[in-house]
Amino acid sequence: MEIVFATNNAHKLREVQAVLGDGFTLSTPRDCGITEEIPEEQETLEGNASQKSHYIHDRTGRNCFADDTGLEVAALGGAPGVHSARYATDGHDFAANNRLLLKNLEGVT
């Protein structure tokens, strides 16, 4: 069975393919001709995953699934959550994100 996995991350694709085994063949959005950035505009990780899978299905009619990951810190009310990759900046600056997270955790118990 072929399924579209809403990622263009080759490492993630290999990991999931290994878990699914030989009964499934994963393809990517690029494999389906989707080259644009897939929107992630929801307020929850689940919402973003749902939005991505619907986006692909609406354009291809193919079975698909998606994930979205983020760090949710209870002491910060779930922050950074869906904003984990861009917590400190507009880009994916992991060091800046970590510094801001540690700063925001100062004095929090």
Q: Which residues constitute the domain of residue 11?
A: 2-65
44 & 80 share domain: no
79 & 61 share domain: no
pLDDT in tens, the chain (109 residues): 999 999 988 999 999 999 999 999 999 999 999 999 999 999 999 999 999 999 999 999 999 999 999 999 999 999 999 999 889 988 778 999 999 999 999 998 6
Q: Output the pLDDT for position 62.
A: 97
Structural domains counted in the chain = 2
Catalytic site includes residue 68: yes
49 & 81 share domain: no
55 & 87 share domain: no
Residues ≥6 apart with Cβ < 8 Å to 101: 71, 73, 76, 80, 87
12 & 60 share domain: yes
57 & 6 share domain: yes
12 & 49 share domain: yes
54 & 25 share domain: yes
Give me 74's structure tokens.
């209870």
Q: What is the pTM of this model?
A: 0.81
Cβ contact 44:70 at 8 Å: no
Q: Output the pLDDT for position 8.
A: 86
Q: Which of 22, 58, 67, 68 is catalytic?
A: 68
* Closest C-alpha to 73, from 39, 106, 40: 106
Q: Output the pLDDT for position 85.
A: 87
36 & 84 share domain: no
Q: Output the pLDDT for position 86.
A: 87
Q: Output the pLDDT for position 18.
A: 96
**Residue 59: C-alpha distances to residues 9, 54, 64, 68, 70 (Å):** 20, 9, 11, 20, 26
78 & 32 share domain: no
